[in-house]
Structure 1
Amino acid sequence: MKKKILALFLATLLLMSLLVGCGGKKAVNVNEGIKEKYVPVAVEKAEIKTISTEITFSGKVHADKEVMIFPKIPGKVASIISDVGTKVKKDSVLFTLDKEDVQKQVDQARKSVDSAKANYEKTKESIENAKTNFERTKELYEQGAVSKAQYEQAQLAASSTSIDAVKAQYEQAQLGLTQALDSLKDTSVKSPIDGIVSVVNIEEGEMASNAQPAMTIIDMDRVYVEINVTENVINDLHLGQEVVVEIPAISDENIIGKIDKLSPAADAKTQLYSVSIYIENNEHIIKPGMFAKIKLSTDVREDVVAIKSEAVVQSDGKMVVYVVEDNKAVKKAVKTGLDTGVYVEILEGISKGEKVIVKGQNYVDDGSIVKVVRGDK
C-alpha cells in the first residue's frame, strides 16, 4: 500500500515539473500564433473636391414688397372690399370713402368753371368790339369826321381792356374742377401692387386719415432674409451667389436662396455690412417673420485633394495620415491647407485615390497589419 502511495506521489511531482518546464505563456503564444493579429479600420479614398468654410447667420424673413396704404384724402369709410388675407391685383379697389361731400365740391367747381367761362367769353367779345370800334373811329378821324378826343377815347378803350386776368380766372376754375374730380376718384382707394392684404386698420363708418396707414399689402412671391456680416466676409460674397437657407418652421430640408443685395459700405453704428438673400416663394409657404438660418460658404477651394479632417493625426510633431497598402498601415507625412472641420485640403503627401484610414488611425503604427471593415476594400 505504501509503495502505491509513493508511486502516485512521484508521478504527481513529475507532472508538475513538466508543466513548470514548458510554461503557460508558451502555450498561449502557440495559440496566438494560430490566430491572426490585425487592427480593424475604416477607409475612404482621397478625392478631388471643392471645399469651403461654412459660416451660419440668422435672421427674419421679410416680404419682397410691403406697402402701407394711405387714403389721399380723409373721409368716412363707406365700404371695405378687401379684408386680411385677400389676394389683390394692382389697381383693384381696396376700400371706398363716402362721396357725398366730395361730390358737392365737384358740383361747386363746375359752377365756378361755368361762371368763369361765361365771363371769359363776354370779355373776349367786349375786346373784339372795342378793337372794331377803334378801327372805325381811326378811319373817321383820318377823314376829319371825329374829333381827336373821340379818337383817343376809342384807342384807350381798345388797349386798356385786357383778357389775361379773366383768362387766368377761367384756368384757375378749371384746375379746381380737375382737383375736385381727382378727389372724387380718390374716394376709391386702390392697391398699387399685386399682393395680399396683411393688415387692415379701418372699419366701415369710421374716419380714415391720410396721416396713418389704413391697410398694408405685401408681395410674397419672393421673400428675403437680411443678415449683417463682418469685413472679413463681405468680399467673399457676390451677387447671384447661391446660399443654403434653413427655415425650421417649414422643414428640415435646405432651401436655396441667392444673394440679391450687398451693401457697399458698413453701417456707421455696427460696422457690419448688410446682405439680402432672396428666395422664390410662389406657393407662399414661407411667411414673413419666420426665423431663418443662412449658411455662407467662404474661403472656397476648388478641385483640391481632400480627405476627412479626422484622418489627420499628429506624430512626432508632424501631421500624418495612414493609408492602406497591401493590408498594412503606411504612415505618410502631409501638408494641409484649408480645414473646414469636416474635410481638410491636402497640399502634399498623398494623391487622389489612396485609401486613407479614417477610423482606427489612432490605434495603428507604420507597418501595422490592418483589416478594412468599412469603406473601400
Structure 2
Amino acid sequence: MIHVTATWFTKPAAVAVILFIALAVGCGRGKSSTAGAPPDARVPGDTREPAAVEKDAEASIVRLSDAARQRATIAEITVLPRPASDVLSAPAELQLNGDRVAMVGPRVAGRVARIAVSMGDRVDAGTVLASIDSPDVGSLLASYASAQAAESVAQRTYQREKDLFARRISAEREVFAAEAELARATSERRTVESRLQALDVALPRAGSSSPASALLPIRSPIQGTVIERNAAIGAPVGPDAVLFTLADLSTLWLVARVSETTMRDIRRGDTVTVTLDALPDQRVSGRVSYIGATVSDTTRTVDVRIDVPNRTGQLKPGMFARAQLATRGARTGPSNQLLIPQIAVQELNRRRVVFVPRSDGGFDVREVTVGASVGDDIEVLSGLKAGEAVVTTGSFTLKSQAVRGGAGESQ
C-alpha cells in the first residue's frame, strides 16, 4: 500500500496562484489576436475610438521626378501687373452671307432640257438658269387653250341671247343662263392662267396657231454668283430638287468665336479689324451685326457675326482669319491688370487652376478666378499675387499628374 503525501496550501497562497494563472492566460490571448496588425487597426470587440488619420498635407501638391520634369519641359513666368493690349483677338472663319443666298429649283416635276449657266458665272435677277420639260406644264397649257375657247364661245352665246331678248325673241332666263355660263368659263380661264403665271410660263396669245412651249424656265431670284450646280441634261427633277445655289459675294459674314468671359467688351456696331491667314498683308474692316444668344458647351465661346465687305472678290468663304476687337481698356483708357498666358490656366474638377512652383521642387495647385481674355493672355481676378511664379509650358502635364493622384512623384 502506497501512501501519497499531499501538500496543502494555505488560503492566501491559493488565491495568489489563481490570479497569476489568469493574468498569464489573458496576456497570451492579447498577443495572439493583435500579432501582425497595424498600429491603427481596430481589434474586434475593442470599443475604444480609433486614432484620427492625419490628413495628407500634400493633397494639393504635384511632384515630378527629375526625368519627368525634363520630359515635360516645364517653363515658368513671374506674374506682374501690366497694361492690357488695346485689342482682343479671336479666331474666326469667313462664311456666306445667309441673307444673300438663294437655292433655286423647279416648281413642278420634269426633266432638265437645257442648262444656261456654269459654275462661277455671275447672273442678274431674272436670268434664265435652265429649262425644264414638264408634262404638268404641257397639261396646263392645254387646259388654258381649252378654257380660252370655252370663254370665247360663252361670250358669243351671251351676246346672241342679249340680242334675241332685245328683239323679244328669246326669254330673259336664256340671257341669265348665257351670262352664268360666260362667268364660269371666264373663271376657269383665269384659274389656269394664274397657275401658269405662278410657274413663270409665258401665256400663249389668243388665237395663235403656233403651239405654246412646254418648257419651264428656271430663273435666278437674286443677283449673284453660281456657287453650286446640281443640274444635268435629261436628269429627272421634282419640286423639292435644288438645281442651283447662288450667292451675292459682295459681302460675307465673319463668324468669330469669342470667350464667354469677354462678351462684356463687345457691342453691336463695333468696328472690327480682320486679318486673314491666306492674305497676311491684307486687312479689312467690318462691323458686328449679331452676338450669339448661347454659349458653346464644348468651347465655352460665343459666336459673334461680323459683316465684311468683299468688293474685289478676294475673300473666299471658308478662309480662316482673326478678328481684332476693341477691348474695355481701349475704350476707358489703359490700366494695369494681372495677366498670365492662357496656357497656364487648366480646368481641374470644374475649377480653374494654375500651378505655382514650390521651394522644395513641388507645385501648388492654386485655384484662380479669371476674367476677360486679352489676346493670348487672360486676366486673373483672384488667386494669384504679383511676384508669384506660375507654370506655362508643361501645365497640362502637371494637370494630368494631379488627376492621377496629386501627391507623390511621377516617374
What TM-score do the two structures reach when normalised by structure 1? 0.54
Aligned to 1:226: 255
Contact 1:92 1:191 in 2 (8 A): yes
Q: 1:309 to 1:158 in 2, by over 3 A?
A: closer
Contact 2:93 2:255 in 1 (8 A): yes
Aligned to 2:239: 210
Letter of the 2:137 counterpart: V
Letter of the 1:75 counterpart: G
Aligned to 1:72: 107
* Count of residue pairs the alignment pairs up: 247
Q: 1:340 to 1:267 in 2, by over 3 A?
A: closer
**Deviation digits for residues 58-97 of structure 1 (CA, Å, limit 9, x no counterpart):** 2321122221111223322122111111122222221122
Aligned to 1:176: 192
Letter of the 1:194 counterpart: Q
Query: Map of 1:276-295 to 2, 5 A cutoff?
Result: 276-295=305-324
1:58 pairs with one of 68, 71, 91: 91
Report the Cα offset of residue 217 of structure 1. 0.8
User: Where in structure 2 are there 5+ consecutive unaligned residues?
Assistant: 1-82, 203-214, 340-371, 378-411
TM-align CA RMSD: 4.0
Higher relative strand content: 1
Q: 1:269 to 1:238 in 2, by over 3 A?
A: same
SS at match of 1:224: strand
Distance 2:319 2:216 in 1: 36
Distance 1:198 1:58 in 2: 25
1:167 pairs with one of 166, 180, 183: 183
**Deviation digits for residues 219-264 of structure 1 (CA, Å, limit 9, x no counterpart):** 111111123546654443223311122221222554322212335x
Contact 2:260 2:295 in 1 (8 A): no
Contact 1:90 1:194 in 2 (8 A): yes
Contact 1:260 1:278 in 2 (8 A): yes
Aligned to 2:118: 83
* Comparing 125-134 and 166-175, the one that deviates more: 125-134
Query: Map of 1:112-261 to 2, 5 A cutoff?
Result: 112-126=147-161, 129-130=164-165, 133=168, 157=173, 161=177, 163-180=179-196, 183=199, 184-185=201-202, 187-229=216-258, 232-251=261-280, 253-261=282-290
Distance 1:77 1:255 in 2: 42
**Deviation digits for residues 14-68 of structure 1 (CA, Å, limit 9, x no counterpart):** xxxxxxxxxxxxxxxxxxxxxxxxxxxxxxxxxxxx9656443323211222211
Distance 1:131 1:175 in 2: 33
Letter of the 1:179 counterpart: R
Report the Cα offset of residue 112 of structure 1. 2.2
Distance 2:323 2:184 in 1: 63
Report the Cα offset of residue 194 of structure 1. 1.7
Query: Map of 1:332-343 to 2, 5 A cutoff?
Result: none
User: Where in structure 1 are there 5+ consecutive unaligned residues?
Assistant: 1-49, 137-153, 311-337, 344-377
Report the Cα offset of residue 277 of structure 1. 0.8
Contact 1:230 1:273 in 2 (8 A): yes
Distance 2:297 2:334 in 1: 42
Report the Cα offset of residue 175 of structure 1. 2.7
Contact 1:222 1:280 in 2 (8 A): yes
**Deviation digits for residues 255-298 of structure 1 (CA, Å, limit 9, x no counterpart):** 322212335x4479899754211211112111111222223332
**Deviation digits for residues 130-154 of structure 1 (CA, Å, limit 9, x no counterpart):** 47639x9xxxxxxxxxxxxxxxxx6
SS at match of 1:83: coil
Letter of the 2:89 counterpart: T
SS at match of 2:242: coil
What TM-score do the two structures reach when normalised by structure 2? 0.50
SS at match of 2:149: helix
SS at match of 1:285: coil
Distance 1:339 1:61 in 2: 22
Aligned to 1:102: 137
SS at match of 1:84: coil
Q: 1:289 to 1:304 in 2, by over 3 A?
A: closer
Distance 1:129 1:212 in 2: 56
**Deviation digits for residues 165-214 of structure 1 (CA, Å, limit 9, x no counterpart):** 54023221233134336543472212112211111101112123221210
SS at match of 1:68: strand
> Structure 1 vs Structure 2: percent identity of aligned residues?
19
